[in-house]
Amino acid sequence: MNHDIQNLEPKEVWKYFHELTQIPRPSKHEEKVREYMLDFAKSHGLEAVVDKVGNVIIRKPATPGMENRKGIVLQGHLDMVPQKNSDKEFDFTKDPIEAYIDGEWVTANGTTLGADNGMGVAAAMAVLASNTIKHGPIEALMTIDEETGMTGAFGLEPNILKGEILINLDSEDEGEMYVGCAGGLDANVTMKYNTVPVPAGHKSYKLSLTGLKGGHSGMEIILGRGNANKIMNRFIKHAVEEHGLMVASIHGGSLRNAIPRESFAVVTVPAEKANDMLNCIKKMEAVFRSEFSATEPDMKFVASEEPMPDAVIDPQVVWKLTRAIYACPNGVMRMSDDMPGLVETSNNLASVDTDNGIISIKNLLRSSVDTAKEALGHAVSGTFELAGAEVVLEGAYPGWKPNMESAILKSCREMYKEMYGNLPEIKAIHAGLECGLLGAVYPNWDMISFGPTIRYPHSPDEKVNIASVKKFYDFLVKVLENAPTK
C-alpha cells in the first residue's frame, strides 16, 4: 500500500487531510481535533474562538484590496463516522486512520476514511494558511457532532458570525452544486422484555449476517442495498415458526445515519431441529443473495456453535418484535416531484440491540417535505406502538429549501463554466447538510454546497477521488478570489 498521500496535488490540502487522519475524531470525541484546530490558528496568527457548544470559528481578514468584498463563511464539520469491518481491530478514539492510495482514489484500511468531512476541513485550512490567495473576509466554521446529532449546528448562536455567504464544503460529487437538502427526524424505539430459561435439549448458535455494503443512509438509500436488520429479522421469524428457534440476543447495525451492514444474533434451537435450521440458513442465504445480486454480491449468512446462553427472550416478545420490524417502513418512501431522481422521503431502520431487558431500535427519517417527514414518523411509531413498544420522536431538524435565484449560485455556475468548459449540475441532496439548521439561525445567508467526489461514505469502503480534490480546491479558490462586493 502506498500511504504517501501528502505528495498528492494540491499538496497543501493533502497535507492537512493527512494530519486530520492522524487525529481520532469520531462524533462526540472532537476534543483532540478541536485542540489541533486552535493550535493551527495560533501558528498562523489567526483569531480563533470556541463557542458554547464546542464549534471552532477561525477568522482571517481580507487580503489588501479585497476589503470591500462580502464576507464568506467556509463551513465543514470536525467529526467523522466510525465504521470498521468486523475483522478489523481498531479503536476510533485512539488509533489513526490508515489512509492509502488505491489507483485514482484514496481509501482506508478496513475503516471509514474520514474524507467526509475531513476533505472539506482540509481545504478550508489550506485557504486559511495561504499567503497567495486573494480573498475578502473569511470565517471558517467547523462544527461538532454533525454525524450523530448536528449538535454543533443546533447550538450555533446568532450574531457570532458576520459573513453574508455560506459555502458548505460537505457535498460529495465534484461538478455538482447543491442548493437544498433534506431534514431529519429520529425515531427511538424501546421494548421491554423478560427472559425465560433455555429449554432442555437445545443447542446454541451465533448467527452472523455480514458483507453488506451499508453506506450513507441519505446518499445511498436510493441504491437498494440490503438492510441487515431487515434481513436477519426475516430469517428469525421464519426459523421461530418452522424450527422452534429462540432468541437470546440481537445486535444489528450501529450508527443511525449508516445503512446497517451487519447483524448478529445468539439463538437456541431444539437439537433434533438443528440440522434443519442449518440447512435453512444455507437456503435463505441463497435467497438473499439472489434478491440482492446486483447490490450485495459479498453477503454472507452463517451459523457457528456458541456457548449456551443463560436465558432467552420471552417468545411472546420475539413474536411481537419480528412482526414490528417486518412492518416498519424502510428505504425510499417517495421520490421528489420537483427534482427528478431525488429521494424525497426515506427511513433507515438503523440498529436493533437487546441488553438487560431492553430492546433498543433506532431509525433515521429524512424528507425534504416537513409534513411528509412527520407522517412517516407516525407510521414508524404506530408500527412499534402496536407491538407494545414506547417510541420517542426527537431531534428534528429542518431541510434547506432551494433558492434557484441565489446570487452565489449564479456566479458559481458562471465561474465553473469558465474554468472547466461545462456547467455544473445543480441539485438538492437527500442528506442532512447543516445548511438547513444554519440558515434558520442566519436567514440572511446566501448558501451553496460543493465538494470533491467521495464514494461510500459512512462505510469502510469510503474513498475520495484524487483528481476531484484538485478541481474542487481550484474552484474554491476561484470563488474566493471573485467574491462579490458589498
Where is 350: in which H helix or E strand? strand 343-355
CA 27 centroid distance within chain: 11
- Residue 431 reports pLDDT greater than 90: no
The answer on pLDDT for 402 being more than 90 is no
Q: What percent of the chain lies above the pLDDT cut of 90?
A: 91
Digit-coded pLDDT (tens) for 83-129 = 999 889 999 999 999 999 999 999 999 999 999 999 999 999 999 99
Rounded to 10 degrees, the C-alpha dihedral 321/255/182/119 comes to: -170
Burial of 448 (0-12, 13-18, 19+ CB in 10 A): buried
Which residues 6+ apart lie within 8 Å of 28 measured at CB? 79, 144, 145, 148
Q: How confident is the model at residue 154 (pLDDT cuts 50, 70, 90)?
A: very high
Q: How far apart are CA 107 and CA 44, in angstroms?
A: 30
Average pLDDT of span 310-328: 98
Q: What is the pLDDT of residues 184-231, one digit of tens each?
A: 999 999 999 999 999 999 999 999 999 999 999 998 999 999 999 999
- Provide mean pLDDT across the span 140-165: 95
Over residues 138-165, mean pLDDT: 95
Kind plus residue range of the DSSP H or E element containing 25 = none
User: Which region among 28-42, 72-86, 344-358, 427-441 has the lowest average model confidence (pLDDT)?
Assistant: 427-441
> Cα separation of 118 and 79, whole Å?
8
Higher pLDDT, 433 or 278: 278
**Whether residue 338 has pLDDT greater than 80:** no
Cα–Cα distance measured from residue 293 to residue 303, given in angstroms and rounded to the nearest whole number: 21
445 with 83: CB under 8 angstroms? no
| Cell numbers for 90 | 481498531
CA distance 338 to 446: 21
* pLDDT, tens digit (0-9, with 9 covering 90-100), for 342-381: 999 999 999 999 999 999 999 999 998 989 999 999 999 9
**For residues 132-159, average pLDDT:** 95
CB atoms under 10 Å from CB of 281, counted, come to 18
Task: Give the model's confidence band at 2: pLDDT under 50 very low, under 70 low, under 90 confident, else very high.
Answer: confident
Grade residue 1 by pLDDT with cuts at 50, 70 and 90: confident
What pLDDT is stored for residue 404 in this prediction? 87
For the stretch 47-56, pLDDT in tens is 999 999 999 9
Q: How far, in Å, are 72, 73, 108, 435 from residue 430 at the CA level?
A: 25, 23, 25, 13
CA-wise closest residue to 238 among 288, 165, 192: 288
* Distance, CA of 383 to CA of 64 (rounded, Å): 61
Catalytic residue IDs: 79, 146
In the sheet that 165-168 helps form, which strands lie side by side, from edge to edge?
A: 47-50, 56-60, 138-143, 72-77, 165-168, 446-449, 176-181, 425-429
| Band of pLDDT at residue 21, cut at 50, 70 and 90 | very high
Residue 12 half-sphere exposure toward CB, CA atoms < 13 A: 14
All structural domains of the chain: 5-182+399-481 (3.40.630.10), 185-397 (3.30.70.360)
For the chain, the average pLDDT equals 96
DSSP 13: H
Helices (H), 211-293: 228-243, 274-291
User: Phi then psi for 15, rounded to 5 degrees?
Assistant: -60, -50
